[in-house]
Amino acid sequence: MFDRCAIAKEIAEDIERQKCSTDSKECEIATEITNVIIRRECSLDFLAEEAQKYKNYDDFEREGKYIYWHGTDSPAFTIFNPILKTKEEQFWNPLGNSNVMYVSNDKEFVTLFGKYAHPVIIPPTANILRITRSKWDIIGLNIVKKAYKNVGIDYWNDLTLSEKMEINEALKDVPYEGLYDVYIYATVNRPEIAEQLAEAIEKESTKRFSKYDVVSFWATNDPMGNATEVLIINKDMQKTIDLKSFWKATQER
């Protein structure tokens, strides 16, 4: 996982350093190119362009690209800080460590997790791992097998057929719920290692997803079935935005 904006600025500096030392024409062209690179990676031009398509804010909020929602009992914030989560929001996360930020495309759905729904923007340049149902069958089971190995249990040789069937059944659910159920089964079948297994699942999920900016799952436990589950891992993208003020500003241009 990389800070694309910081890397873009470094590249721009290198290009200008090489091209602006001798030839003024080359320097002019290099500056123009690097400005494009920086605008692409560091600005919200992409969002402004999208916002200008909508003459009504509600339509932009509902239909605009790049907009996701974070549900919380915490008031608006500019930078996501897990340490400042309200007490009720601090919990074990089977899909990665507590530093990930959960968002969804569905504003109404996220209000199940808090009274506020804050808009968050995922830029088109984000490095996104999109996990489909079929991909999860492989990824989810690999996370569980490695987690069991971390606590000294070989998935294939040490678990009973019944335990393996329970795990496979659990993983048919959406990812968060499925991994949580794997832990619940362990509290019944192998209570002596259940808590260690929970920690190992979180560790393996973190390891599997940490190289991406964002991980997007095909579904979550939305009773209506329309919401996606999205984890923002890149801290530079864990920001809320005053979306209405932003939209208004684009209409005045």
User: What are the structure tokens assigned to 89, written together?
Assistant: 């929001």
pLDDT band at residue 28 using 50, 70 and 90 as cut-offs:
confident
Cα four-point dihedral sign 167, 137, 65, 84: positive
How many other C-beta atoms lie within 10 A of the C-beta of residue 38?
15
Share of residues in the chain with pLDDT > 70 (%): 85
User: Residue 20's domain spans which residues?
Assistant: 4-43
Q: How far is Cα of residue 35 from the mean position of the Cα atoms in its chain?
A: 28
The side-by-side arrangement of strands in the sheet containing 229-232 is 101-103, 229-232, 214-217, 128-131
pLDDT-based confidence at residue 87 (cuts at 50, 70, 90): very low
52 and 118 in a single domain? The answer is yes
pLDDT band at 22 (very low <50, low <70, confident <90, very high): low
For residues 115 and 218, membership in a common domain is answered with: yes
Q: Are residues 222 and 156 in the same domain?
A: no
pLDDT at 1: 46
Digit-coded pLDDT (tens) for 190-234: 999 999 999 999 999 999 999 999 999 988 877 666 789 999 999
Same domain, 136 and 123: no
On whether both 236 and 119 belong to a single domain, the answer is yes
Whole-number mean pLDDT of the chain?
Answer: 86
State whether 61 and 117 are in the same domain.
yes
Q: CA 100 to CA 120: how far, in whole Å?
A: 13
Query: In the chain, where do the E strands start and end?
Result: 67-72, 101-103, 116-121, 128-131, 214-217, 229-232
89 and 123 share one domain: yes
Q: Do 117 and 219 fall into the same domain?
A: yes
| Together in a domain, 54 and 114 | yes
Is residue 85 very low, low, confident or very high in pLDDT (cuts 50, 70, 90)?
Answer: low
Mean pLDDT of 228-253: 89
Residues 73 and 168 in one domain: no
Same domain? 83 vs 196: no
Least confident of 66-75, 90-99, 132-141: 90-99
> Are residues 184 and 242 located together in one domain of the fold?
no
Count up the domains in the chain and report the number: 3
- Terminal C-alpha separation, the chain: 35
Q: What is the pTM of this model?
A: 0.79
Are the beta carbons of 232 and 62 closer than 8 angstroms?
Answer: no
Q: What pLDDT was estimated at residue 45?
A: 82
Distance CA 101, CA 233 (A): 7
Which tops the pLDDT comparison, 73 or 195? 195
